[in-house]
Amino acid sequence: MSVNIVHLKNLTQANEEKGDSKENVSGAEAASQRNRPVANLIDRKNESIYLDSPATTQCDKRVFDKMAPYFCDFYGNAHSKNHVYGWLSEEAVDVARKQIADLLGAEEKEIVFTSGATEANVIAIRGVVDLHRYSKKRSKIHVITSAIEHKSILNCCKQLEEEGVRVTYLPVNHDGLIQLDDLKSAISEDTVLVSIMAVNNELGVIQPIEEIGAVCEERGVAFHSDITQAVGKMPLNLRSFPIALASLSSHKIYGPKGIGALFVRKKPHVKLRSIFPGGGQERGIRGGTLAVQLCVGFGEACRLLSCEFTQDFARIAKLEKLLIDKILGNIPLAKLNGSREHKVPHISNFAFPFVEGESIIIGLKNVCVSTGSACTSSSLEPSHVLQAINADEYSIHSSIRIGLGRFTTQEEVEFAIDKLVVAVEKLREISPLWEMYQDGVDFSAVNWAQT
């Protein structure tokens, strides 16, 4: 259900008339607001616009309705082969697996259920590395990834480095794109895996995964891609892409949290060494009893995407144009981080030099956006993605990410833009750096250690 824009505007006006100054609250005060009683937080939620879909999406009510019977009515273990409860659950899982495969252009047997994309990423990377390390007894192993991958991949690679695996982190250009020549140069006789995400979760930038896959195929190297932010945001057909392994998650596509999948190609067959053997479920790749209701929800979310992708994409693309054009046209020095040409319309990352991104978020009050990935939002470290594209210090610390989704309305986008324009203007009024910029100060010549 969309937020009542008229109510939000009246609420905002009332707060401003009272002299509300929450735009300038400190970090401690912001934390205090987050720690208010649940009832108060629910009130605030009902008064807010959600523009953080790259972090998670609302579970579509049609998905929830499809899941509901599998909590209390059809509750059998899908691995129980001896009675009707198990058979019904197994059938539901099989249907869900096919719905996911159909969306991706894959076969049912190529879909392995996991708890989410993070687990799928780790299973893929460690599965390939451990296969070569333990089963094939290779002493020298090399993995290639990019500098802007999701933290679940970067942290996995760092752990592998501690175990003696050599890892190359490919740089990206100012648009956030890797260069194929860099990839070709990095591949060696010891390279066993290349892992490059399809769409970046902070910038929305689309990597040339088809070309990357072709390079890997030619050199005999397995190619894994985290396609979490690509599913439902761009056309995907894994049958035509030379991808050996691909990770995805349900809660990014209006499905339930707690479930994801790993695509493991069967032709040509991709082998993995299991890191979760368990009872041999999921082809022995990922053991454990399946949560049938989550599988059903994931499958239904994929079915809905298959049916509604074209109309959803067209509508969100129009909202993206409105968002980018109005922000860049109404806020001086505002800029879009990453490529505008090679990106999905659902994710946009903006820099507003001379103000802090966190301060902007506080100033927006009823508009829910973020300064970057939800998986690293608790860290005070600057975004590794913005650092990798060589954004300047003012952009790195002044950037926010805005997400558009299935339930985002034009009214909500226009309201958010108006709020953003006011918030940046107010913050710059009290920014010494903005004043220095207007006075013509050359920041490159300033010795900050002595000022």
Please, what is the end-to-end C-alpha distance for the chain in angstroms?
Answer: 51
- Nearest 10 degrees: Cα torsion 266, 268, 271, 277: 0
DSSP conformation letters of 111-177 = EEEESSHHHHHHHHHHHHHHIIIIIS--S--EEEEETTS-HHHHHHHHHHHHTT-EEEEE---TTS-
> Is residue 307 among the annotated active site residues?
no
Based on the number of CB atoms within 10 Å of its own CB, is 324 exposed (0-12), middle (13-18) or buried (19 or more)?
Answer: middle
The two structure tokens encoding residue 284: 């022995």
Choosing from 59, 72, 157, 375, the catalytic residue is 375
Cα distance between residue 437 and residue 116, in whole Å:
45
Q: Tell which residue, 438, 437, 423, 361, has the closest CA to residue 55.
A: 361
- Contact status, residue 361 vs residue 400, Cβ threshold 8 Å: yes
Looking at 331-396, list the stretches that DSSP marks H as alpha helix, in order from N- to C-terminal side.
Answer: 357-364, 384-388, 393-396
Q: Tell me the pairing of strands 347-351 and 399-403.
A: antiparallel
Cα distance between residue 130 and residue 139, in whole Å:
11
- Contact status, residue 356 vs residue 395, Cβ threshold 8 Å: no
Q: What is the dihedral sign for C-alpha 271, 166, 378, 367? A: negative
Residues labelled catalytic: 375
